[in-house]
Amino acid sequence: MKIVIVLTVPFTFLSDLDFQAKMPVDADWKDLLAYADRVRKITYEEGAHNVPTSIFPVFEGRSPRQWILPNLSHLVWKCDTPAGLDRGKIFLNTGLQSLTLEVGHKFSNLSDFLAVLSSRTRLDSFSLTSLGPLPEDFSRIMSHQDLLEKVSIVAPGALDGKVGKWVSELPELRSLRLDLTGQSMGNVEGFFDEIAPGSGWSTPDSEGSRDSGVFSELDFTEIKKTTAFSRSGGDTKRGACPQLRQLHLTGQAGNVVTFLKQLAGHIHTLELAIEDPPENQDWKDLCAVICEKLSGSLKSLRIISAVPLRHVELPRSPGRFQDPTPRRLPLNYFSSLPRLAVFEIDLPESVMFDNSDIAHIATICPAIEVLKLCPQARWPTNLTPPSITLVRCLNDVVRSHSLMTHV
């Protein structure tokens, strides 16, 4: 008789279970191994304290086979202690394609874990979020991972020049996520310091570059910090990571501008999590650099708040918090984005737009299909919403043959 085990009830009742003295014998593993073959993705969160840690030595030492989850392709491992990180090694099987790793402070064994990872796997996707700094030999260890298409590093030391060199030399890299929060402009440019021309840089003379060199002349009026400029070596290194298609950056608008200036203009999808409200000059520079560097390739642009939306997460009851003062975010700094199809802005404070913004976007973005301007914006009772009228919006978007608009 075949017994079918179906996940119909939550397993939270198991959280207060633990192993008895009797260890499982081979027959006890039958069901577990049969169903473990089906598992392709699993998440472990040590902080949830819902899994007895004593199960992992049993998995490692008592299992009838080497890999408990032989078909596992995606592992999400969130741990708070070094011991919790070590437990993850038993799931680093050779078929693993994606690893999302979140660790806390002072993980001295992180380097060892990454070494085991690199010796066993060749990942497509790697995401590391760490409160502590990256190991010194991070780029050397990860150099074995040469098939990565998606990289996300949010950790102190992620902007080191060696990390930048490793990232730029990934031939299959398509998506990159970095955190620039709290970094100086020099640190941001330091990410590109060790990238040698020809190994990830696309100079105006390089093959396939769209940069004619005419507009990439150095503009001294835009240089805010001479030291940063001197470290970067001027515009001779512009055009890094030409293989990159999706970029997610978090941080101040000024740092984002500095980073974008160094990249090649082949990015299709750009997601920026910036502080809100951005400084006016930084916002102006950001719009300018996006149009200058990415106008020929950018299809999707999303700008959100770097800070979690506190007023969105909280219950929406009046009087529990003070609504932020709505601020104007001019869109007329964008000059031309001819291939842009999706444009979303979702900021908590910069929510004031008017008809001229819509008309401007309709003009400079002839391929626009989706335009969302702060769809979750709230308006204090003592202020009135912006005077955008649906009729006027429709006139603008219909004139530019747009499809959907959310204002």
Residues that bind other proteins (CB under 8 A): 4-8, 11-12, 14-24, 28, 31-32, 35-36, 38-45, 48-55, 57-58, 61-62, 68, 74
Q: Which is nearer to other proteins, 90 or 407 (CB)?
A: 90
DSSP 114-170: HHHHHHH---SEEEEEESSPPPTTHHHHHTT----SEEEEESTTTT-HHHHHHHHT-
Q: At its nearest, how many Å lie between other proteins and the CB of residue 207?
A: 40
Q: Both tokens of residue 306?
A: 């770097």
DSSP 107-120: -TTHHHHHHHHHHH
**Cα 30 from Cα 293, distance rounded (Å):** 58
Contacts of 104 (CB under 8 A, 6+ apart): 79, 80, 81, 130, 131, 132
Q: In Å, how far are 33, 240, 321 from 372, measured between CA atoms?
A: 47, 30, 25
Q: Is 251 left (phi over 0), alpha (psi -120 to 50) or beta?
A: left
Q: Which is nearer to other proteins, 12 or 226 (CB)?
A: 12
Q: Both tokens of residue 22?
A: 């009797």
Half-sphere exposure of 390 (CA within 13 A, CB side): 2
**Cα 348 from Cα 151, distance rounded (Å):** 28
Q: Name residue, tokens 């335009």.
A: 371
Q: At its nearest, how many Å lie between other proteins and the CB of residue 323?
A: 31
φ and ψ at residue 119, rounded to 5 degrees? -75, -25
Q: Which is nearer to other proteins, 78 or 299 (CB)?
A: 78
Q: Which is nearer to other proteins, 57 or 233 (CB)?
A: 57
Q: At its nearest, how many Å lie between other proteins and the CB of residue 28?
A: 5
Q: Which is nearer to other proteins, 14 or 218 (CB)?
A: 14
Q: Which is nearer to other proteins, 69 or 148 (CB)?
A: 69
Q: Which is nearer to other proteins, 11 or 215 (CB)?
A: 11
